Amino acid sequence: MGGMRRGALLLLASAVSPISGCGGGSSTGGAVALVDLPRELSATQCGLLAQCFGAFETLSMQDCVDELEPRFRNGGFVAIQSAIESKRVSYDAKKARACLDAIEKQGCDSLSTRNPSVCDDALSGSVPLGNACSIDAECAGNAHCDWGSGTCPGVCAAPHTDGQSCVADGDCADSLICQGLGAAGSVGQCRAPATGGQVCLGTTGPECRPELVCLGGTATASGTCAAIDIVASGKLGEACDLTAQKLCRAGLSCAVQTVTPSLTFSCIAKLASGAPCTLAIPDPCQDDEICTATQNAPTTGTCTPMPKLDEACSTAIPCNGDLVCVAGKCAALKDTGATCASDAECYSGDCPNSVCVGGAFCTQ
């Protein structure tokens, strides 16, 4: 499965942080005031997650929006504000609404196609092709800020065609995605994704469309693209198999039943608070609890409350909700500008020089 397509307004999904006096008050008349864009983007993305990833999306719509919004809001909107103030980017609140509506209408196709043209008008860049840029939004039309040389600033470039290098989906032309990305900073290749029933992965095969799963596929063995409802089709009490990508329907968990003489699994319903549990996907416990079973001891877990703010935590028992485990205690994630000791403490995931900053962008 892949991530949300990065283009036009959804570029802001990784580039939004709090600002003051920008965009005015609440959205009215169908327009999306700039200050409201993080929540509107969150709602659009969460709707797509629920529609396209079904059984793999376990958060409620409200919880999903509540978790994504501060990440969007702290993801780099300082750069967007600077670009707007310097007249390198203009924002149209009414076209922003039209853009989000058009993305919603596209449904799962929006995960592997460029955003509708109205999105380029909603967040419109003025920097022409071949000129210096810091972020994609500064580039005119559907161009992107190409940092392929690893130098700063980047250069506004046309979408890359099939076979050209890329570092994000937004670098690629319509109907292509950036495939082969590994660790942060790696370079992929723009390729058309495989559709349902087509060969995927292996040494030469493409990745599947983001909302599909490559059944049986690995880096060395080819698989076949399949819809999530085919992969996650097991009913309550039926056998499933975590080792063979045979999972259960939404609301159920594929849980270990026996280890010896053979490893077996079954689809189970959500367990009661404090109940014994086994290793399962997704976690079978109540929303504020986690099963303590591990790969080394998959049948001896207990549904245990996840620690809250300032309570002790560990890798095995992570914090509840949107808290993060820092030095063995649960702490709230920090906004842009707050002091920090590690990337994990920041909503943006970026803590250079002991200060949380917005999402990565190239500063000239």
| pLDDT digits 0-9 by tens, 169-187 | 888 998 999 998 876 667 8
3-state secondary structure of 96: helix
Give pLDDT, residue 298: 95
CA 67 to chain centroid = 12
Q: What percent of the chain has pLDDT over 90?
A: 54
> CA–CA separation, 45 vs 174, rounded Å?
19
Helix (H, G, I), strand (E, B) or coil at 330: strand
Within 13 Å of residue 112, how many CA atoms lie on the same side as its CB? 20
The span from the CA of 72 to the CA of 328, in Å, is 27
Round to the nearest angstrom and report the end-to-end CA distance of the chain: 34
pLDDT of residue 323: 93
Question: What is the SS3 assignment for 118?
Answer: helix
- pLDDT-based confidence at 341, cuts 50/70/90? very high
Threshold 0.85, pTM exceeds? no
Question: How many Cβ atoms from other residues are within 10 Å of residue 30's Cβ?
Answer: 11
In angstroms, what is the C-alpha Rg of the chain?
A: 22
Pairing of strands 222-227, 212-215: antiparallel
Between CA 63 and CA 270 the distance in angstroms is: 18
- Fill in the amino acid letter for 332: A
Instruction: Supply the mean pLDDT for the chain.
Output: 85
